[in-house]
Amino acid sequence: MENSQSGKVIFLIGIGYVGEMLCDQLSKRDDVASIIAMDKEPQGEWCATIPKVTYIQHNMADEGWEEMVSKHNPDVVIHTAWQIRAMYGQSDEQWRWNVDGSGRVFDFALITPSVERVIYFSTASSYSARVDNRFEHLFTEAEGFRDDDYIYAKEKKVTEELLKSKFDAAKEAGKSVPQVSIVRPAAVTGPRGRYMRIRFGLQSALQGNLKGGVVNRIITTLTSFVPATKGWVRQFIHEDDVNDIVATLSFDTYAWDYSVFNITPVSEAVYAKDMADAVGKKILPIQPWMARFAFWFFWHTTRGRIPTCAGSWRFYSYPVVMSGLKLAQIYECKYSSKDAFRYTGKKWVNHANGLRMKFSDLKEFYHIGQIVEDDDPIASEYPANVYPDEIPEFEKYGVELYQSLEKLSHIHLHQLLHFHHYWSLDLNCRKW
């Protein structure tokens, strides 16, 4: 069944961090006719402004959405949906949402005649962080996944296996199948990811951004230094690269029918020292058992509000480093892993309940100007101040310095006016 309209129809499941960005970028393409976006949460404020988007609020694990989507004859199915944060005491429901829900998406994609391509977002976590892992060993796509008690890694492993089994069964039955591309991304970051990272999670704690509560005060105290094991390492991929990779897999022509890609730059990873430099703190070496105890403690004392569920401590203790060489055969990343982590070139700001991107070429400078606090209409004529996120206290002291210099300028101007006044009087007296 072909679409009568010009351009492809994209069915995108999961309108969170990555999904929303993909909606925005794909909607700008002339060869995209429309985007059917589906998520279990209500449509966000920013997403509502993106053109070409038809939004469906529906949990992919529940019945009923297939008929609504199929009438649009989607060409490409992009599956990014996932309940990433473990649900405390609700592992069965989480499994239904993630694994069973993904199964429904795969079934839909494999039986819908219009679907030509499927892109599924998996994870690097399912390579499994183990004590015998080494920094120098780069996991390749051919190695496959290993068993893990970290629920996110376990569910992603099972879901990949589910997709492969459904795909193979359809081919063996002689059915026409879409091209399947599985991406296993490193940690995605960039302007919006940076905005989120410095307000939530480890970097937020390290930068002293956690507010209120006994547990948050304990965490802030514990993160006066950067607690890191010898095995701490991260790989990052920039948002722009993720957008371009998805577009490449959606629109370019390739010969494979089923393929898997590690989505990471071919570059050096981010180590504990890099994290310490980013937040301006020193490293405090810890042992894996310490991380394990801390993760267990915060998981149970906060009943999952701090997402340190069982098994996740290993990914702060032992290295998992992927090879990006296979990806490099079809796409060259614009940003290295360290550049994706450190430098964004853009700034994200919060407006109302949504996130907006404010484009500004920062060029490693800051801007502090007049601050209008009395609702004076002149405020609209002043550009927003720009502060480096890496130094939380910079805003406080920077504003104090600006205001002090402003007061000093007023004093000097006042003195100059007095000098000019008396000088003028002296000249006039001499004329008489």
Domains contained in the chain, CATH given:
8-354 (3.40.50.720), 365-431 (no CATH)
133 bridge partner residues: none
DSSP 99: I
Of 338, 76, 110, 356, give the one whose Cα is nearest residue 233: 338
pLDDT of residue 202: 53
Lowest mean pLDDT among 8-22, 25-39, 144-158, 354-368: 354-368
| pLDDT level of residue 8 (50, 70, 90 thresholds) | very high
Residue 11 pLDDT > 80: yes
Distance CA 379, CA 96 (A): 51
In angstroms, the Cα distances linking 209 to 133, 182, 226, 249, 368 are 33, 35, 14, 38, 21
Residue 194 pLDDT > 80: no
The β-bridge relationship of strands 187-189 and 236-238 is parallel
- Torsion sign across C-alpha atoms 10, 190, 160, 103: negative
Distance CA 179, CA 170 (A): 12
Lowest mean pLDDT among 68-77, 78-87, 183-192, 357-366: 357-366
Kind and range of the H or E run holding 356: strand 354-358
Average pLDDT over residues 124-150: 92
Residue 348 pLDDT > 60: no
| pLDDT level of residue 266 (50, 70, 90 thresholds) | very high
Q: What is the token pair recorded at 192?
A: 């919006």
356 bridge partner residues: 349
pLDDT of residue 357: 39
3-state secondary structure of 107: helix
| Residue where the block lists tokens 């070429």 | 361
- DSSP3 helix / strand / coil % (the chain, rounded to 5): 45, 15, 40
Q: What is the token pair recorded at 385?
A: 């101040």
8 bridge partner residues: 32
- The answer for 343, left when phi > 0, alpha when psi is -120 to 50, beta otherwise, is beta
| pLDDT level of residue 325 (50, 70, 90 thresholds) | very high
Tell me what percent of the residues of the chain surpass a pLDDT of 70. 76
pLDDT of residue 432: 37
Residue 255, exposed/middle/buried by CB under 10 A (0-12, 13-18, 19+)?
exposed
Q: Around 274, how many Cα atoms within 13 Å sit in the side-chain half-sphere?
A: 16
Residue 97 pLDDT > 50: yes
Q: What is the pLDDT of residues 39-94, one digit of tens each?
A: 999 998 888 899 999 999 999 999 999 999 999 999 999 999 988 778 888 889 99
In angstroms, the Cα distances linking 152 to 106, 127, 390, 396, 428 are 19, 12, 30, 39, 86
Of 92, 103, 95, give the one whose Cα is nearest residue 63: 103
Residue 199 pLDDT > 50: no
350 bridge partner residues: 355
| pLDDT level of residue 356 (50, 70, 90 thresholds) | very low
Distance CA 238, CA 324 (A): 14
> How much is the mean pLDDT over the chain?
82
Of 353, 367, 341, give the one whose Cα is nearest residue 49: 353
| Residue where the block lists tokens 């909607």 | 27
In angstroms, the Cα distances linking 197 to 5, 136, 207, 314 are 40, 27, 10, 20
Average pLDDT over residues 170-191: 93
Contacts 24+ apart (CB under 8 A), 1-5: 1/73, 1/113, 1/114, 2/73, 2/114, 3/33, 3/73, 3/75, 3/114, 5/33, 5/34
Average pLDDT over residues 385-400: 71
Average pLDDT over residues 181-192: 89
| pLDDT level of residue 407 (50, 70, 90 thresholds) | confident
Distance CA 359, CA 338 (A): 21
| pLDDT level of residue 248 (50, 70, 90 thresholds) | very high
pLDDT of residue 5: 59
Q: Around 175, how many Cα atoms within 13 Å sit in the side-chain half-sphere?
A: 18
Residue 430 pLDDT > 70: no
Distance CA 244, CA 106 (A): 23
Average pLDDT over residues 187-198: 68
Better-scored residue on pLDDT, 283 or 250: 250
pTM: 0.75
| pLDDT level of residue 294 (50, 70, 90 thresholds) | confident
Residue 389, exposed/middle/buried by CB under 10 A (0-12, 13-18, 19+)?
buried
